[in-house]
Structure 1
Amino acid sequence: MLACQIFAFMATGKKTYQNTILDIAEALRLSPATISRALNNHPYVKEKTRKDVIDMAAKLGYRRNHMASGLRSNKSRTVGLIVPRVSMFFHAEVITTIQNDLHKQGYSLIICQSNDSVSMERELTETLYASRVDALIAACTLQTVDFSHFDKFTENGTPVIFYDRVPVEPYRATIVKGDDFNGAYQATSHLIAAGCKKIAHISGPLTSNLYQDRAAGFAKAMEEHGLELIPDWIFHQELSAENAMRAMREMFAGGEVPDALFADNDTTAIAAIQFAIEKGITVPDALKVAGYSNDPRTAIITPPITSVEQFPETVGKRIVEALTALLNSDPAEPAYITKAVVVPVQLVSRMSTSTINKNTI
């Protein structure tokens, strides 16, 4: 048996093998070096030769061994990505941009979902490290406060980029994030400009940078306009529809009720609208609602919801730009961007904060 061939015995007892570059070279009467260059799109290979090689590779069932190639070059041409949930609109858009842009550069993307579980996130870092990825991109869980499970990458010169959900304390990695403080400040100021004085805030856990920044932006706008923060109307919780409905029931159970709600995600804002419909609370006359992320659902619900646009495509492109610089830098001294890359946000005003009566529900 030739060393260049990998044999396996099937249930039939027949011998099969995985063809290699040497088999293609023998079939075309070309050198193995020429075959290798053709398969790697080397500019010195004639187009006809390249086509002949690709056709013969397909005919012989040749499959490139990326693991072996990676071991030889010390590059796997793969990038790991950990996200909380791929179903979230913002992250789905970021993933699409990253994958498309990295593919143009010859990289494959390994997408992993942590399910917002710290233990799962730890397991995924182990798996991706063992897979010899050339870089790691991560949006962490809401509860991640210890980032030591990422140390194995940074200590071995593997670039790490955190985006959206990022370490609060300094970490040897590049940070790409949205301007969450300003987004919350804009949304709250917009509600105040619309005449609201009793504004509730449903936010996420303060273990996450997202909700630290959005809570600070909300508080700043309220303070600047001399409005009181009412503790019973401020919630820090998992931003699910169920939790949103529970918070709304609490706020509207007593005598004094809010005249506006700033929700730190659009799922919460949508649930608030549904609650209002059930209770006969007119939106926006009796209650104005603003959300965050500009999920496409906010534009089609009645009334359409004011929300903060995060520009996920721009976030994805900034990540790839930073990653490209890192991958092209000296592995011994990777060019980490010490200052966070902050992507601007924009308030999208819709009828949920308007004062026009004909658009109430």
Structure 2
Amino acid sequence: MENKKSVTIHDIAKELKIDSSTVSRALNNNPRVSAKTKKIVQDKAKEMHYQPNNLASNLRTQKSNTIGIIVPHITKYFFSTAISGIEEEAHKAGYNVIICQSKDSEELEAKNINTLISSRVDGILISPAIKTSKIDHIETAMKRNVPIFFFDRYIKGIETTKVITDDRTTSKELTLHLLEQGIQKLGVLAGDTKVSIYDNRVKGIYDAFKESGLNTESKLILQQIKLDVDDAHDAINNWVQNKVTFDAIFAMNDMAAIGAQIALQENGYKVPDDILVAGFSNEPIAKLVSPPITTVHQPAAEIGKLAAKKIINYIQESDTSILASETAVLKSELIIRASTEKKSTT
């Protein structure tokens, strides 16, 4: 079988009888080359099936034009949407992406970072794992001059750029909405409050109670769970069996809200007539269950786009110190649906 040699810029230059430097500039869209010459060179490169040698270029510039992304779970709607936003912005700027998932494991997250460093990425966008308690692996990467920016979740104590949503504010708005329905006791299914997003959402609940002049000790029950359908289902069953009283549920993601709603219905409760149910994150399925679930829409794609813009700007900026510890907060939106709207008794 014939071993075909790769086409180089010198081959294109020879065909067109022009300098190799002109071919290189034309292929890199250099403004010093006329539009007419660019087209001639690019057409010839396409005709000859030219492929740029990115490895050689990367060795010269010490840039890979690649961003690493680490998310807890690729299959979750929020993260898959955020990844799409990152990819869109990265590709627009001429960057590739490498996607890893930690599965909410600190050990796997550390391996992901090492893999991305070995792949010579120019920067890493990460939403940290729930289990992450140490920060050595992140600090090691940053000491190697690989910038790490957080999106959605973040780790306190690490000075870097964060792109997040107003979790505390929207959690407060959702809680106020539930309290305005005249509920007597709120049951909260929270995630691990060592994680920034769940910590902020719990703080938002307390803010709402304080603003309403209510005592959380008598009006609030809070349990930290895994925040999936099964764990939420089990938590509600346990509350019912142990005769824990509540007339509204605030689950800190929509899958947990769905699990809670199913458990309530299986135990003979009507939603929302007997018990209100609210979630968070606006999963597509949340509006398809019966009744559709009140939730909070987070701008996942916009978070991804902004995080990508910021890390690319950081990579390309000669004086990066101005971007070292910025926090960008995007607004979320409360979406009220039938699961929290009691039928009028008048």
Normalised TM-score (structure 2): 0.92
Indicate whether 1:68 and 2:56 are aligned. Answer: yes
1:2-17 alignment runs, 5 A limit: 12=1, 14-17=2-5
Residue pairs, 1:235-314, within 5 angstroms: 235-314=223-302
SS of the residue 1:257 aligns to = coil
Aligned equivalent of 1:7: none
SS at match of 2:150: strand
Matched, 1:191 2:185: no
Distance 1:67 1:116 in 2: 33
TM-score (normalizing by structure 1): 0.88
Which segment is superposed worse, 206-215 or 316-325?
Answer: 316-325
In 2, Cα distance between equivalents of 1:213 and 1:57: 54
Query: Is 2:201 the counterpart of 1:214?
Result: yes
- Match for 2:169: what amino acid? N
Q: Secondary structure at the match of 1:277?
A: helix
Matches for 1:32-43 after TM superposition, within 5 Å: 32-43=20-31
**Runs of 5+ consecutive residues of structure 2 not aligned to the other structure:** none
Query: Is the 2:160–2:326 contact (alpha carbons within 8 Å) kept by the matching residues of 1?
Result: no
Alpha-carbon separation, structure 1, partners of 2:173 and 2:241: 29
In structure 2, do the counterparts of structure 1 residues 339 and 58 end up closer, same or farther at CA, with 3 Å as the change threshold? closer
Q: 1:148 aligns with which of 130, 136, 159?
A: 136
Classify 1:300/1:281 alpha carbon distance in 2 versus 1 (closer, same or farther; 3 Å): same
- Offset at 1:316? 2.3
Partner of 2:289: helix, strand, or coil? coil
Deviation, structure 1 residue 181: 1.6
Equivalent pairs: percent with the same residue?
A: 33
Compute the displacement of 1:352 (Å): 0.6
CA–CA separation in structure 1 for the residues paired with 2:146 and 2:216: 48
1:173 to 156, 160, 177: 160
Shift of 1:278: 2.2
Whole-Å separation in 2 of the counterparts to 1:187 and 1:274:
21
Unaligned runs of 5+ in 1: 1-11
Work out whether 1:202 is the aligned partner of 2:192: no
**Partner-residue secondary structure (3-state), 1:17:** coil
Contact (CA 8 Å) 2:250, 2:278: kept in 1 or not? yes
Measure, in 1, the Cα distance between the counterparts of 2:188 and 2:139. 36
Residues 229/308 of structure 1: CA separation in 2 closer, same or farther (3 Å cut) = farther
Aligned residues: 344
**Residues 278/357 of structure 1: CA separation in 2 closer, same or farther (3 Å cut):** farther
